[in-house]
Each structure stands twice: as structure tokens, then as C-alpha cells.
Amino acid sequence: MLKKISYICIAFYVFIVLGLYFFQEKIIFRPKKLAKNFSFTFATKFEEVHLKTNDNSLINALHFKVNGPKGVLLYFHGNKGNLERWGKIVAPYTSYGYDVFVIDYRGYGKNTDARTESKMYQDAQLAYDYVKQFFKEENISIYGRSLGCTFAAKVAKENKPKQLILEAPFYSLIDLAQHKLPFLPHRWLLKFKFETNNFIGKINCPIAIFHGDSDKMIPIESSQKLVETAGEKNIDFIILKNGTHHNISSFKIYKDTMSELLN
């Protein structure tokens, strides 16, 4: 009887492992597709842009514009939706007197090509190179939210922006998966590592991190570990009391800090 139970447990474990391996992209990435001829509509002035990659893919992006911008906010969004959703979220940042530039990831919105971690990092750098055509690096602020934090951190590491702003970052995808399902061998299972921890200590610009202490999606310990990993780096760590994964931008301290950062 015990032997039979053991076999059942092993079979169940293998089933979970295989399921995670083969369906991990559907778990990590939650895109919403858009037709190629979809027309964006926003209250803020914007331009739709298509960035051509080295492998001849096209990355859909939105460039929100203001008159006489103080700089540009390069925004990397979270894992759900597409530019139709995120455009509405990022457009209000123009109220700080900044242009805002945001891309969709591969497989999101109008983008169709298959994604890999390395290609996604290359796409993020492509976005930085685009805004660098119009702004000096000292006027480029990089912003990452959730999944987007790893792209933001990578780009900040490879370049010389004014600053890096992270909202609810994870330490690494492996670390986050280990927190959610500690009994699985994530290091060997996950094709996407997204090791923000490997970038944070090599960034030379000022860093601001916002994280809610009631975040159930990405625990605040993730940000705390990033701060510890960064060591003596210039980091402003803002903890939002009762902040969740989705309400950080509603806090007064967030708005006040963003006003200071984008002054």
C-alpha cells in the first residue's frame, strides 16, 4: 500500500514538473493580442512606433509627447495586457513634463515573434537606443514595473541614464518561483531566469525602488534582497504601508517621490 502511494506521489510530482516546464511561458507571460490594423486612441498626444530588430522583427511602441520635455521616461511594463492597456497607465506620467516611451514585448499586442530572454533584453536596449536619438542620456529616466523591472535594470546596467525607478521588482524569476513553489527544481526547469539580482549591483545611476508591504504577487522581501545585493549603491527604498501589487501609484508618498525624481 505504501509503495503504491509512493508511486502515485512520484507520478504526481513528475506531472507538475512537466506541466511547469512545457507551460511556463503561459504562466509567466499573459499577453493580449491586437490586430495589426488596431488603432490606438489616447487623450495624450502620441506617436505609434515600430522598432526593427536585428532579426527583422518589429516591436510595437508608443511615444507620448509633451511640448518642451524635460526628458523622457522609458517604461517597461508588467506581464499582462498590451499597449492598449499600458498606454493608459503611462500617459499620465507626461504631467511631470516628460515624454514617455513604452514598448510591447514579443508576443504582446501587435508583436508576433517568439520570445527568448536574450531577445527581450535586446529589444529593451533597442528602445533605449531609440529614445537616445532625441534625448541625452542624462535626461533619460528608466522605469520598470514588476516583470519590466528586469529589463529596466538590464538597460540601466548597460548604459548611463539619469536614474532607474523600479516598482515591485523581483529578485530573480527563480527566486520568485521558489517562493511560490519551493518543492520544485526551478533552476533547471525555467527557461527564463530574469536575474535582476545580477544587474542591480552593476548600475551606476541613482535607483529608487517602490514596494508595497502587502504585495501578494511579489513579496517585499524581493526588493529588500535587491537592496542588500546592491550594497553601497545610491538606492532610495520606499516601502508603501498596506501597499499591494496594484495600488502603489495611488499613494501620496509615491506621487510626491515621483515629483521629486522627475523635477
Query: What cell does 208 get?
Result: 529608487
Which segment, 8-12, 53-57, 146-150, is predicted with the most confidence on average?
A: 146-150
d(CA 106, CA 57): 9
246 located within any domain: yes
d(CA 226, CA 17): 28
Above 90 in pLDDT, residue 191?
Answer: no
Continuous H helices in 29-140: 83-90, 117-131
| pLDDT per residue as tens digits for the range 156-185 | 999 999 999 999 999 999 899 887 766 566
| pLDDT per residue as tens digits for the range 24-82 | 778 789 999 999 999 999 999 999 999 999 999 999 999 999 999 999 999 999 999 99
186 located within any domain: yes
Q: Residue 123: which residues within 8 A CB-CB, separation 6 or more?
A: 51, 53, 59, 103, 105, 106
Task: Please give the model's pTM, rounded to 2 decimal places.
Answer: 0.92
d(CA 112, CA 155): 23
Q: Which residues constitute the domain of residue 212?
A: 40-261
- Cβ-based burial of 7 (10 A; exposed 0-12, middle 13-18, buried ≥19): exposed
| pLDDT per residue as tens digits for the range 106-121 | 999 999 878 999 999 9
9 located within any domain: no
d(CA 207, CA 151): 14
Q: What is the pLDDT of residue 99?
A: 98
CATH of the domain at 221: 3.40.50.1820
Q: What is the pLDDT of residue 112?
A: 86
Q: What is the pLDDT of residue 34?
A: 97
Length of the chain: 263
253 located within any domain: yes
d(CA 149, CA 172): 10
In single-letter form, the type of residue at position 207 comes to I
188 located within any domain: yes
Q: What is the pLDDT of residue 12?
A: 58
User: Of 182 and 251, which is predicted with more confidence?
Assistant: 251
Phi, psi angle pair for 109, to nearest 5°? 55, -120
DSSP state of 107: T
d(CA 12, CA 15): 5
Q: What's the mean pLDDT in 201-207?
A: 96
31 located within any domain: no
223 located within any domain: yes
Continuous H helices in the chain: 2-28, 83-90, 117-131, 148-158, 173-180, 186-189, 197-200, 220-230, 252-261
Count the domains in the chain: 1
73 located within any domain: yes
